[in-house]
Structure 1
Amino acid sequence: MFHVNSEVGALKQVILHEPGLDLERLTPSNKDELLFDDVVWVSRAQEEHRAFQQLLRDRGVTVHLLHDLLAETVKGDDAVAFVLDRILDERQPHLGALLARVTERVLTGMGPDELATHLLGGLNKRELLERAGERRQADGRSLGLALLADDDFILPPLPNSLFTRDTSCWVYDGVSVNPMRKTGRKRETVNYEAIYNFHPMFAGSGAYRWIDGEAMAPASIEGGDVEVIGNGTVLIGLGERTTPAGVELLARRLFRAGSAQRVIAVELPKARALMHLDTVMTMVDRDAFTLFAGLDRHALRSWTLTPGAHEAPDVTENKDLFAAIGTALGLDTVRVLQTEQDSYSSEREQWNDGCNLLAIAPGSVVAYEVNENSNRMLEENGIEVLRIRGDQLGRGRGGPRCMSCPIEREAV
C-alpha cells in the first residue's frame, strides 16, 4: 500500500505536522538550542499550514497529521510503554530514578490526545507537579527536579516536528526511521518508531524498515538529504546532517532487498543554510532539477554506490553529477534550472527555501510565494508553481518539501 517510487510522480498520501504547543514554547532564549532562527507567530503559522494542507487536498492528496497519528498510536499500552521506555531513561543527565518514575506516572495518566500533545510539545516542571500532586515530596527527593525552575522542561518541545520529511522518509517499498544528527531532534525518532510499529495503518503494511531509529546511531541520515529520483536510484546529500556511514548503511539494505540498484551521494558544503540536499537541489520534473545559483553544477563532487561482491557497496567517483543522474535515469540530458540573479538575491532566496519544492506531479511544485525570482524562472521553464505563504513557517529553515513526508507516490 505504501511506497514512494519517484520524486515527482503523482503524490497520493503525505504526513504533515500542523504547528501547535511545540512552536508555542519556542522563545528567544531556547530557539538556538531548538534549531530555529527566530520565534514564530503561531496562529499565523497555523493559518499558513492549513492553507498548505488544503492545497494538497484540493489536488487529490490524502493528508495525515502527525499529532493525530501519534494520538491513535498511544491508545495502546504497548505503544505507550515503547515510547516512555526510550524517553525516560533514568540515566539521562536531567532525570534520575525518582523524576523518571514520576514523569512516567504522569504521562501514562494522560488520555491519548493529551499525551500526543506533550510528546510533541514538551512537559515542564509546573505541569508535572500539578498532575503529580506531590510537589514537596518529589521536589525534596529528586535532585534533578529540585534544580529546575517551574517553567524548565523535563521533556523539551519538538518544534522541528514541523519538518516531517527528515525524521522518516519512504524509499521505494520501505521506510527509513532516521537517527537525527542534532540533540534537539533525537526524540522525534521515537515518536515515528512508535507510529510505524503500532499504528493500525502501518503495523501490518509489510513495508521494509530500512533504518530503525537510533539503532544505527552515531551514524546519521536525515530525509531532507534523501531524494528518490526513480528507476531504482536514490540521490543522497552528504552535508551537515547525513554521514557517510548512514549513506552506506541505507544503500546496503536497499541493495540487499533489490529495491534500489544505485545510490548517488553528493557532497554539500557543511553550513546551516545548506543543511540538507533539498535546501539547494530538488527534482521538479522527469528530467529537471532546480539548483541553488550559488553552487557550480560542474564542481559538485559525487559518488555512485552499487551492490558490491561482499557486504560493502562498490563506490565510484563521478566525473559529473548530472551526467551520472542522466545515466541512472536513462536520459540523454538533464535540465539544471538555476535562477539568474545577483548574489544578494540568490543568497536571500536560498535562505527562504527557494529550492525546497514539493512536487505533486511531474512539472508541478509547491513553493513559498516569497521567492519571486526562483518561481518566475521555474514557470519560464514550463514548471507549474503553486504558491503558498511561508512568512512564519519558514523560520525553521524549511520549505514545502521539508514539511511533507510522502508515504505514497507513483512512479513516472
Structure 2
Amino acid sequence: MNEANKPIHVFSEIGDLKTVLLKRPGREVENLTPDIMDRLLLDDIPHLPVIQKEHDQFADVLRENGVEVLYLEKLSAEAIDASGNKEAFVEAMLDESHVQSESVYAALKEYLLSMNTYDMVESMMAGVRKKEIEVESKRLADISDRKHYPFYMDPMPNLYFTRDPGASIGNGMTINNMTFEARKRETLFLETIMKHHPRFKDSAVEIYRDRNETTSMEGGDELVLNDKVLAVGISQRTEARAIEDLAHELFKKHTTFEKVLAIKIPNVRAMMHLDTVFTMIDHNKFTIHPGILELDGSIDTYTLEKSLDSDELKITHQTDLEKVLKEALGVEEIELIQCGGGDAIAAPREQWNDGSNTLAIAPGVVVTYDRNHVSNGLMREKGIKVIEIESSELSRGRGGPRCMSMPLVRKDIEDN
C-alpha cells in the first residue's frame, strides 16, 4: 500500500500526514451578516485579518512538521483551466446557485468570465453582491429584489472546513452530497479537481460516492481507523442509508476495508459530525465527548460487514464502544480521553470549541486549539504530544483542526 506516486492515500487517522488540502478563509467570511448566518450555517462572524493570521499559523505548523499544504482555491483554478471549458464551470455554478432571472444569469456569467480564473474562483467563493454588477432588466422581480437581499450569489463561508465536501479513503475518495443547501455547491470544486487537475485526473482515484447521490454524507463523519476499518457517524449530516451504500461500494470494489462501524451520535448542531465528539489520536487512544454516551456509558454502534452468502450486509448491533474498538482494531486496551475531563462545565464548553476535534499528524502527535486547555492537558498526561494553535477567530465557525483539513496522503502505519 505504498503511498508513492498516489495522490490519494489514506489508510489511517494517525499515520504521518504527508499532504493536506486547506482553504484559507477569504472574503466569504466577511460577507456574513446576522440575518443570514443561520441559513449559511455559521454562529458568528469572524474577523477576517485575525482568522487569516490564525489559519496561516495552522498551515505553517503543518509545514514545519513535514506536511505539503495544498489550497482548494488554487487547485480549483488550475483544474478549471486544465479542463479547457471555463464557461461550463461558470454555468454549473450559476445553475446550482439557483439564479432564476435570465438577465441576472447573463450579467453574472459575463462578470465572472471577465476575470482570470483564480480571481473568478475567489469571487464565487466570496459570493457576488448586487452592487458589484449592473443588471439591465425591466422585470419587476429583478428591480424590486435589488433593494433587499444583498447577493446575487451567496457566499460560501464554510469552505475553510475542507474536511466535509469529501473524504480520502484508501486510494479513493467520497465526493459528498452535503445535507444543507448552503454547502452543496462546495463539492463542485472538489469534483472539478478530481476530474481535471493534472495531479489527480490520470491517477485512477476511485470515487466511491459522487455529489449526485440521493443520500447525504459529510467528511466530518468519516474516520479511517486502519486499513480494514472505517468508522462513520450517523449524525445530523450523514444518513444511515448513505453509510450502507458506502459499505456496499467498498466491499464490491474489493478494497482493503472489511468493516464499517456506524456510530449513532445526537442529532444536534453542537455535535454535527462524529469528529466533533470523537477522534483517533494514537494506536489505541481516542478523544471523546462524554455527551454522546448514555448514562451507563453505552452508545449505539453497528458493525457492517460483507455477508458470506449473499449481497446483503451483515449488521451487528452493540453498545459497548470500547469493546467494539478493541475487536475492530485488534488491540487489548482502548483509552477514551474525555473532552474537558468529563467535567460538567469544562466538557460542554470545550466541546463547543472543538476540544475533541483533534488532527493527528503522526501517531500520538496532534494539533489542537489552544483554548481547550483542560482537554489538552489530559492528552499530555496520556503521553500525547499536543501542538496548540491560536483560535479566537477560527473557533467561531464551530470546527477544529480536523474539520479544517482534508488529508490526501498519509504514511502507512507500518512505515511509521
TM-score, normalized by the shorter chain, greater than 0.5: yes
In the TM superposition, residue 332 of structure 1 has moved relative to its aligned partner by: 1.6
Q: Gapped runs of 5+ residues in structure 1?
A: 130-134
The aligned residue for residue 95 of structure 1 is 100
> Does residue 238 in structure 1 map to residue 234 in structure 2?
yes
**SS across alignment from 1:200:** coil
Structure 1 counterpart of 2:132, which letter? E
Tell me how far apart the structure 2 counterparts of residues 158 and 392 of structure 1 sit (CA, whole Å): 17
Q: Gapped runs of 5+ residues in structure 2?
A: 1-5
The aligned residue for residue 333 of structure 1 is 333
> Does residue 107 in structure 1 map to residue 112 in structure 2?
yes
Tell me how far apart the structure 1 counterparts of residues 132 and 108 of structure 2 sit (CA, whole Å): 10
**SS across alignment from 2:225:** strand
Match of 2:133 among 117, 128, 143: 128
The aligned residue for residue 83 of structure 1 is 89
Aligned residues: 402
Task: State the Cα deviation string for residues 194-250 of structure 1 (Å, max 9, x = none).
Answer: 11111111111211001111x102x10000000000031100001100001211111
Structure 1 counterpart of 2:169, which letter? V
Q: If the length of structure 1 is used for normalisation, what is the TM-score?
A: 0.93
**SS across alignment from 1:203:** coil
Tell me how far apart the structure 2 counterparts of residues 255 and 20 of structure 1 sit (CA, whole Å): 40
Match of 2:11 among 5, 13, 20: 5
The aligned residue for residue 73 of structure 1 is 79
Distance 1:310 1:124, change over 3 A: farther
In the TM superposition, residue 319 of structure 1 has moved relative to its aligned partner by: 4.2
Give the superposed CA RMSD.
1.8
**SS across alignment from 2:81:** coil
The aligned residue for residue 132 of structure 1 is none
Structure 2 counterpart of 1:67, which letter? E
The aligned residue for residue 301 of structure 2 is 302
Tell me how far apart the structure 2 counterparts of residues 325 and 77 of structure 1 sit (CA, whole Å): 43
Which piece of structure 1 moves more, 302-311 or 219-228? 302-311
Tell me how far apart the structure 1 counterparts of residues 83 and 261 of structure 2 sit (CA, whole Å): 41
The aligned residue for residue 376 of structure 1 is 377
Task: State the Cα deviation string for residues 122-173 of structure 1 (Å, max 9, x = none).
Answer: 11222232xxxxx4xx232483465233872121010100100001110111
Tell me how far apart the structure 1 counterparts of residues 141 and 266 of structure 2 sit (CA, whole Å): 43
Distance 1:321 1:207, change over 3 A: same
User: Quick check: 1:139–1:146 contact (8 Å CA) kept in 2?
Assistant: no
**SS across alignment from 2:177:** coil
In the TM superposition, residue 90 of structure 1 has moved relative to its aligned partner by: 8.9
In the TM superposition, residue 95 of structure 1 has moved relative to its aligned partner by: 1.7
User: Quick check: 1:125–1:145 contact (8 Å CA) kept in 2?
Assistant: no
Structure 2 counterpart of 1:340, which letter? G
> Does residue 196 in structure 1 map to residue 194 in structure 2?
yes
User: Quick check: 1:74–1:116 contact (8 Å CA) kept in 2?
Assistant: no
In the TM superposition, residue 385 of structure 1 has moved relative to its aligned partner by: 0.3
> Does residue 116 in structure 1 map to residue 117 in structure 2?
no
User: Quick check: 2:299–2:319 contact (8 Å CA) kept in 1?
Assistant: no
Distance 1:226 1:79, change over 3 A: farther
Tell me how far apart the structure 2 counterparts of residues 55 and 216 of structure 1 sit (CA, whole Å): 36
Percent sequence identity over aligned pairs: 36
Tell me how far apart the structure 2 counterparts of residues 323 and 230 of structure 1 sit (CA, whole Å): 16
In the TM superposition, residue 383 of structure 1 has moved relative to its aligned partner by: 0.5
**SS across alignment from 1:216:** coil
**SS across alignment from 1:343:** coil
Tell me how far apart the structure 1 counterparts of residues 58 and 140 of structure 2 sit (CA, whole Å): 45
The aligned residue for residue 314 of structure 1 is 314
> Does residue 258 in structure 1 map to residue 254 in structure 2?
yes
Q: If the length of structure 2 is used for normalisation, what is the TM-score?
A: 0.92
> Superposition pairs for residues 322-401 of structure 1, below 5 Å?
322-338=322-338, 339-401=340-402
User: Quick check: 1:302–1:317 contact (8 Å CA) kept in 2?
Assistant: yes
Tell me how far apart the structure 1 counterparts of residues 140 and 59 of structure 2 sit (CA, whole Å): 44
In the TM superposition, residue 299 of structure 1 has moved relative to its aligned partner by: 1.4
Tell me how far apart the structure 2 counterparts of residues 295 and 205 of structure 1 sit (CA, whole Å): 39
Tell me how far apart the structure 2 counterparts of residues 61 and 284 of structure 1 sit (CA, whole Å): 17
Distance 1:249 1:80, change over 3 A: farther
Tell me how far apart the structure 1 counterparts of residues 96 and 248 of structure 2 sit (CA, whole Å): 35
Match of 2:28 among 22, 26, 40: 22
The aligned residue for residue 158 of structure 2 is 160
User: Quick check: 2:289–2:342 contact (8 Å CA) kept in 1?
Assistant: no
User: Quick check: 2:83–2:196 contact (8 Å CA) kept in 1?
Assistant: no
Which piece of structure 1 moves more, 389-398 or 245-254? 245-254
Tell me how far apart the structure 2 counterparts of residues 106 and 201 of structure 1 sit (CA, whole Å): 29
User: Quick check: 1:98–1:141 contact (8 Å CA) kept in 2?
Assistant: no
Tell me how far apart the structure 1 counterparts of residues 44 and 282 of structure 2 sit (CA, whole Å): 33
In the TM superposition, residue 102 of structure 1 has moved relative to its aligned partner by: 2.8
Tell me how far apart the structure 2 counterparts of residues 72 and 19 of structure 1 sit (CA, whole Å): 19
Structure 2 counterpart of 1:95, which letter? Q
